[in-house]
Chains A and B, each alone.
Chain A
Amino acid sequence: MSVRTKKRKLSRRKFMGRLGAATAAAAGAAALPTAARAAAPKREIQYGMLIDARRCVGCHACTVACKSEFDVPLGVNRSWVEYTEKGDHPFAQRTFLPRLCNHCSEPPCVRVCPTGATYKRRDGIVVIDKNMCIGCKYCLQACPYDARFLNPVTGTADKCDFCVHRISQGLVPACVNTCVGRARIFGDVNASDSEISKLIARNAVTVLRKEMGTQPNVFYIGADDSDEHDIHYTGQYIHVNTHRPKKERR
């Protein structure tokens, strides 16, 4: 750095200025995905599901109906039922929590998909284009509900799609059709006169992991969302059985 011609001389200040500009440009490019986020426009149709956990008996009929509807490979589930056991005898309780894709209004999986294979349809259903998906598993990481999995047969991401092939024919999803306790109500949550929107209006409903800001469209009545971490402050025995190969709920 000591020997240098006048012509070529690039002052330290100038260099730092240019380097700073280059870094700012790189950082700007990286910051774009978050900058582009805006409130989701209200859709004309937003299909959703209301699950009345009080009516669920934990029979897994929905899980089985879903498996047979899609021939879902062994070891993975589009829809599943979790058991939450808590308390010690005689004050013990077991509750059931049916789980599926939440078809969020702000789906994090759609934001991260590099090929646009995952997208939200006009009717609010989040679907995966099997021919575009490359199986990078980014959406599996981004989903806060662990609703996605890699289909071992197709090698692509897969999940619940509210049985689009059934609802396009005027039927209800397979899990709703089979539910023995009629715990599942399917419909358009944006239509004020639909059964689901009336029930959502008249009941105390919750969604899962609301703090994630994903705006889920699967609503629950009377769901016990206790978590195994709660033992640290409630002191009560809590065990969650996910009925999935992953023993821990995530």
Chain B
Amino acid sequence: MHGDELTWSLPVISYLFLAGMGAGALATSASVLLRSGPSGTYFNIARYGAFIAPIPVSIGCFLLIFELGTFHVGLWFRWINLYRVINLSPMSIGTWLLTFFIGVSVLYAATFLPRNAAPGDKWDLPRRLLAWVCVPLGIGVAVYTGVLLGAMPSRPFWNSPILAMLFLLSSLSTGIAGIMLAWAILHRKGDPEAEHQYRESGYLLTATDILLIALESLVLLLFIMYAHLTIGSVKHAISVILAGGPLATTFWVWVVLLGLFIPAAIELFLIMPRLLYQKTFEVHRSLEVFMPVAVLIGGFMLRYVVVTAGQITYPIGL
């Protein structure tokens, strides 16, 4: 409807999703690595997360460059100007954060490259040291994507302090979903030790993800509730995703139903037998692929709805 009028369109939406997912994967990977001891049960979570993290973030950054106005008129390297300045603009801070993020996450991934990488090998110390940097960097990038949008009073839909929190939780959730999806596709069946690790890690990730989804739902509820309870511009802005608004169906079906409720229901169904009855954690092949895919679609659609709604609404009155 407003597609051709959006100042920031699909490249920015994709970037916000991809950067969030990469940041979430890195923060998850690093914190799991730091939390787990030398047993190595959860080592593969850290490994998958480390390999995933730099890829979506780098793709997202390229998309951002393609979206620049100067790139469209043939000034292909004008974006270098970002590195000639550092100021308090969220975008400037974000540029430097992303640069460090990509650098550190590539180094961190490199420590997992040796075929026999395991806890306690010769790369253990640098891996752990880098992980200590990776956690704040991952959280920083995830939060920054929300701050970038939230910093402007001229966009009442975005101008909420809780938006950054929403994006952080969604980033962690999509990051975990990325790890789960990659592992579900790539893991080999047969070896009992590997199967045991896979089940333990699957349980940890699923149980973490359902907590994150619960928190995300709560933050989303607060975001909508506080906006709806105010009067004026913000209430007008939030009405586009509420009943009767142009983005209501997109938001409630794709973000809330497919992105939050259905994965949460599946995850609850999966973890309950072990949580309550100490049964083995078992996942059907179709579910272990569908569930992260649903989370990822929901994460993308959340960015789509937020970025679009922010740009089709504006302060009322002149």
A interface residue numbers (CB < 8 A to B):
1-5, 8-10, 15, 18-19, 22-23, 25-27, 29-30, 32-34, 36, 97, 108, 111-117, 132-138, 140-144, 146, 150-157, 208-209, 211-213, 225-227, 229-230, 246, 248-250
Contact = CB atoms under 8 A, between A and B. Distances in A.
B88 A32 contact: yes
Nearest to A144: B154
Interface in B189-204: none
A15 B30 CA distance: 12
Contacts of A140: 7
Interface of B: 5, 7-8, 31, 34-39, 41-42, 68-75, 78-79, 81-82, 84-85, 87-95, 97, 132, 135-136, 139-140, 143-144, 147, 151-155, 164, 236, 311, 314-318
Contacts of B69: 134-137, 150-151, 155-157
A135 B318 contact: no
B139 A26 contact: yes
Contact of A135 (B78, B95, B139, B144): B78
A213 B38 CA distance: 56
Contacts of A209: 315, 317-318
A108 B318 contact: no
Given A138-B89, A141-B154, A227-B316, A4 B39 contact: yes
Contacts of B315: 144, 209, 211-212
Given A30-B147, A113-B87, 9 more contacts: A15-B34, A19-B135, A22-B136, A26-B136, A26-B139, A108-B153, A136-B68, A143-B154, A229-B317
B70 A155 contact: yes
27 contacts: A1-B36, A1-B37, A2-B39, A3-B38, A4-B37, A4-B39, A5-B38, A22-B135, A23-B136, A26-B139, A30-B93, A30-B147, A32-B88, A33-B90, A111-B89, A114-B94, A115-B81, A116-B85, A132-B84, A133-B70, A134-B68, A135-B78, A140-B7, A141-B8, A208-B318, A226-B318, A248-B314
Contact of A115 (B85, B135, B154, B317): B85
B68 A27 contact: no
A101 to B, nearest CB: 14
Given A8-B38, A141-B154, A155-B75, A33 B164 contact: no
B153 A155 contact: no
B7 A141 contact: yes
A112 B89 CA distance: 5
A23 B140 CA distance: 8
Contact of B314 (A112, A157, A225, A250): A250
Given A5-B38, A141-B7, A144-B315, A23 B139 contact: yes
A229 B316 contact: yes
Nearest to B316: A229
Contacts of A225: 317-318
Contacts of B147: 30
A97 B318 CA distance: 11
Interface majority SS (helix, strand, loop, mixed), chain A:
loop
Given A154-B73, A250-B314, A213 B153 contact: yes
B82 A114 contact: yes
Contacts of A150: 7, 69
B71 A135 contact: yes
Contacts of A135: 68-72, 78
A3 B139 contact: no
A234 to B, nearest CB: 12
A134 B89 contact: no
A29 B87 contact: no
B90 A30 contact: yes
A84 B187 CA distance: 65
B91 A136 contact: yes
Contacts of B139: 22-23, 26
Contacts of B144: 30
B73 A155 contact: yes
A115 B82 contact: yes
B151 A112 contact: yes
A2 B164 CA distance: 35
A134 B147 CA distance: 20
A116 B87 contact: yes
A25 B132 CA distance: 13
A137 B36 contact: no
Q: Which of B154, B236, B318 has the most CB of A within 10 A?
A: B318
